[in-house]
Amino acid sequence: MAEERARKREDLLQATEAALAKLADHIARGTGPKGQDKIASRAVGRIEDRDKLAKLFDISVAEDGFSFAHNPARIAAEARLDGFYVIRTSVEDKALAAERVVGAYKDLAHVEHAFRSLKTADLHLHHWLAPRVRTHVFLCMLACHIEWHMCER
């Protein structure tokens, strides 16, 4: 998981850097926004919002353009969290131990996979009335439950 997260971050960093370079080129040629406020809000702000990685860059906006560079300290701080994730729950510690919370969360992946499989490969039924939708979902989950028990045996 840590390796995948690091690879994705590097890909997104390169994409963000390419978008920032393209914007800087447009501004330098006179085809981009003009003025510090417009450059910061309409241009750089949109790039920041898209990948949420602008925090890993040092960006300096001026009246006639902007400059940017990687921030190695922030990138290293982000990399230290690779492989970790946080699960929040409203269940008290006394009711459910942390290990069981993680197990329940991971089990959701199996349920989602089973439901996706039922909806894409095995069943092609579409309903519009609420009772039929509920019945359809119930039958899908019942089939998933039976399949799970068969695999366990």
Question: Between the CA of residue 68 and those of 16, 21, 33, 82, what are the distances in Å?
Answer: 11, 9, 17, 24
Tens digits of residue pLDDT in 97-141 = 888 888 888 888 877 877 777 666 555 556 678 888 788 878 877
Q: Which residues pair with 70 in a beta bridge?
A: 57
For residue 45, the one-letter residue type is: G
Residue 134, SS3 per DSSP: helix
Q: What is the pTM of this model?
A: 0.56
CB 20 within 8 A of CB 60: no
Q: Indicate the pLDDT class of residue 7, thresholds 50, 70 and 90.
A: very high
Tens digits of residue pLDDT in 24-72 = 888 888 888 888 888 887 767 777 777 777 788 888 888 888 888 889 9
More confident residue, 47 or 13: 13
